[in-house]
Amino acid sequence: MLYHVAMTVRLPADMDPAVAGEIKAREKAYSQALQQQGVWRHIWRVAGLYENVSIFDCRDNAHLHEVLTGLPLYPHMDIAVTPLCRHPSSVREDDR
């Protein structure tokens, strides 16, 4: 099942830069592993903001919840999820 996920990161202004750097490094490794597995299909930065728009391919809602709550930056994020389904006019057969 495909999901459109918009994420805004809001790190505390007083967060130690070393702690922030460590969290960001873990976040990058986790997200790249999910991309390599095909779970995190697309990711785009929102220009000028600490935000991204992503497409996830998860088994179900519970799987998406597990993936999102596993993000190291999750405690510092505002997340909006929109479930997606294939449009009947799409020429791409691989989107389900």
Are 45 and 51 a contacting pair, CB within 8 Å? yes
Residue 20 inside a domain? The answer is: yes
Give the residue numbers spanning the domain of 59: 2-77
Segment 19-66, tens digit of pLDDT: 999 999 999 999 999 999 999 999 999 999 999 999 999 999 999 999
Distance CA 5, CA 81 (A): 5
* Residue spans of alpha helices (H) in 3-78: 17-37, 61-69
- Per-residue pLDDT band at 96 (split at 50, 70, 90): low
Q: How many CB atoms lie within 10 A of CB 81?
A: 14
Asked whether the predicted pLDDT for residue 94 surpasses 90, the reply is: no
Segment 3-16, tens digit of pLDDT: 999 999 999 999 99
Give the CATH number, domain containing residue 49.
3.30.70.1060
Q: CA of 2: how far to CAs of 13, 18, 38, 80, 90, in Å?
A: 34, 35, 11, 14, 15
Distance CA 47, CA 96 (A): 28
Residue 91 inside a domain? The answer is: no
Global pTM?
0.91
Instruction: Give the pLDDT score at 93.
Output: 79
Residue 69 inside a domain? The answer is: yes
Residue 92 inside a domain? The answer is: no
Residue 82 inside a domain? The answer is: no
Q: How many domains does the chain have?
A: 1
